[in-house]
Homo-oligomer: A and B are copies of this chain.
Amino acid sequence: MATHLAIAFKAVGAELVQIWSRDIRNGEILAALTKSTAVSDWNKLDRNADCYLIAVKDDAIPAVAERLKGLKGIVVHTSGATAMDALAQTGTGYGVLYPLQTFSKTKAVDLTKVPLCIEASDPATFEKLSAIAHLISPLVSLVNSEQRKVLHLAAVFACNFSNHLYALSHTILEHYQLKFELLKPLILETAEKVQTSLPEEVQTGPAIRNDEETMKKHMALLREFPEMQEIYEMLSKSIKKKYL
């Protein structure tokens, strides 16, 4: 998250005053990429920046906020699952900038296509944060802490769980000496379809057709994977309940 945001802000000409990192070596890598300066000592933190962006593990946010008290600039975290008020102790304007996207170290992401969910402690902070967010994406929405938690939950279903289903399909293919490669266009098309249609409009497969014979054959192919049989049955049941 820190890497992707820092690179996106640098790309639009924002000045990255400092990169703070617990591990100075990690900080230095990102600082080199963004022509910034790495620090890991809290005493060396520049206290005159306009905005302090926190991109750390959720449970480390309170400890970092503890160090960011009494600043002039606004303090902002980037977590989907953490309430904005985790930053209330900073005693200054605070908020959240949550990019609704999945980031990996090895793959660049075009942030201009990523929805940014923002929330702020007061109208003045909201104005500042909104301007900062608009620097890197036009898709900026006001989303409160409760809604952000719901978005994060929905993303677990649509993204984390879908990826796990890809992994399960890989396990099945491997077991029968088939290549995952063959499924890739299908996976991409499935995701592309719901960019223009609702998922309910494009559901296919044996469950929605109530094709018992195919489902029985599939269960037999999964006989060595009882856990996948359970998942197959539960999701098929859920599809049948929704549509039939």
Q: Which residues of A come within 8 Å of B, CB atoms?
A: 58, 81, 100-102, 104, 106-107, 109, 113-115, 117, 141, 143, 146-147, 149-170, 172-173, 176, 178, 180-200, 202-208, 211, 214, 217-218, 221-222, 227-228, 230-232, 234-235, 238-239, 241-242
Contact = CB atoms under 8 A, between A and B. Distances in A.
B214 A81 contact: yes
Contacts of A218: 152-153, 156
Given A154-B170, A163-B203, A163-B204, 9 more contacts: A102-B190, A150-B176, A155-B169, A156-B205, A157-B231, A158-B165, A163-B193, A170-B198, A187-B195
A234 to B, nearest CB: 6
Given A197-B104, A227-B238, A172 B190 contact: no
A238 B203 contact: no
Contact of A100 (B153, B154, B186): B186
B173 A151 contact: yes
A155 B169 CA distance: 7
A195 B117 CA distance: 27
Centre residue among A165, A183, A192 by max chain B CB count within 10 A: A165
A187 B113 CA distance: 12
- Dominant SS among interface residues on chain A: helix
Contacts of A168: 157, 238
A100 B159 CA distance: 22
A4 to B, nearest CB: 12
A199 B170 contact: yes
Contact of A158 (B158, B159, B183): B183
A149 B217 contact: yes
A146 to B, nearest CB: 8
B185 A100 contact: yes
B178 A184 contact: no
Contacts of A203: 160, 163-164, 167
